């Protein structure tokens, strides 16, 4: 199984993975983007900030994908995780999985995302909160 993992400070631009299977054997291409929402702990935010132990994060992601690939045979898996400040509406992570069948692609993708949060040394460091607005006084003329 081909495995590509990457950390970036840049906006994520997913690669075109549709033609990367051998001999047209791909029956499924599953993609997931984890996008920063505009709310954290009930408060409006403008961005989230992520930090990582780079070398370890890449190694743990690769090992995790290798293990999952033994249970869910796929042709290839691509992971791009953003670090640094990620504005609301932009992807903090993108995953792409190609496989012969959808069941393997979906299972690998779902299990990877569940284990990523537990095992990979990437942390959501803080939320950048939007300035509070005083709506109690009513609209400003």
The residues spanned by each domain of the chain are 2-11+26-129
pLDDT tens column, 76-106:
999 999 999 999 999 999 999 999 999 999 9
In this prediction, what percent of the chain has a pLDDT beyond 90?
Answer: 77
Q: Which residues are 29's β-sheet partners? A: 98
pTM of the model: 0.88
Cα angle 83, 52, 31 (rounded to 5 degrees) comes to 55
pLDDT at 50 over 50: yes
Which two three-digit tokens encode residue 20?
Answer: 């990367």
pLDDT tens column, 102-138:
999 999 999 999 999 999 999 998 888 888 764 444 4
Please tell me the predicted confidence (pLDDT) of residue 94: 98
Look at domain 2-11+26-129 and name its CATH class: alpha beta
Helix or strand (DSSP H, E) at 85? strand 84-87
Per-residue pLDDT band for 25 (boundaries 50, 70, 90) equals: confident
Per-residue pLDDT band for 141 (boundaries 50, 70, 90) equals: very low
Tell me which residue of 126, 66, 100 sits closest to 79, measured CA to CA.
66
């Amino acid at each position: 199984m081909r495995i590509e993992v990457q950390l970036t400070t840049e906006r994520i631009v997913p690669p075109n993975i549709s033609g990367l299977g051998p001999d047209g054997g791909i029956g499924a291409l599953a993609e997931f983007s984890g996008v920063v929402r505009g709310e954290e702990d009930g408060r409006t935010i403008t961005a989230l900030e992520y930090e990582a132990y780079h070398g370890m994060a890449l190694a743990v992601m690769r090992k995790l994908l290798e293990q999952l690939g033994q249970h869910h045979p796929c042709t290839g898996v691509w992971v791009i995780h953003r670090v640094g400040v990620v504005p609301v509406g932009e992807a903090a992570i993108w995953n792409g999985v190609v496989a012969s069948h959808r069941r393997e692609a979906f299972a690998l993708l779902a299990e990877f995302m569940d284990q990523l949060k537990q095992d990979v040394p990437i942390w959501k460091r803080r939320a950048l909160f939007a300035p509070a607005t005083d709506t109690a006084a009513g609209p400003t003329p």
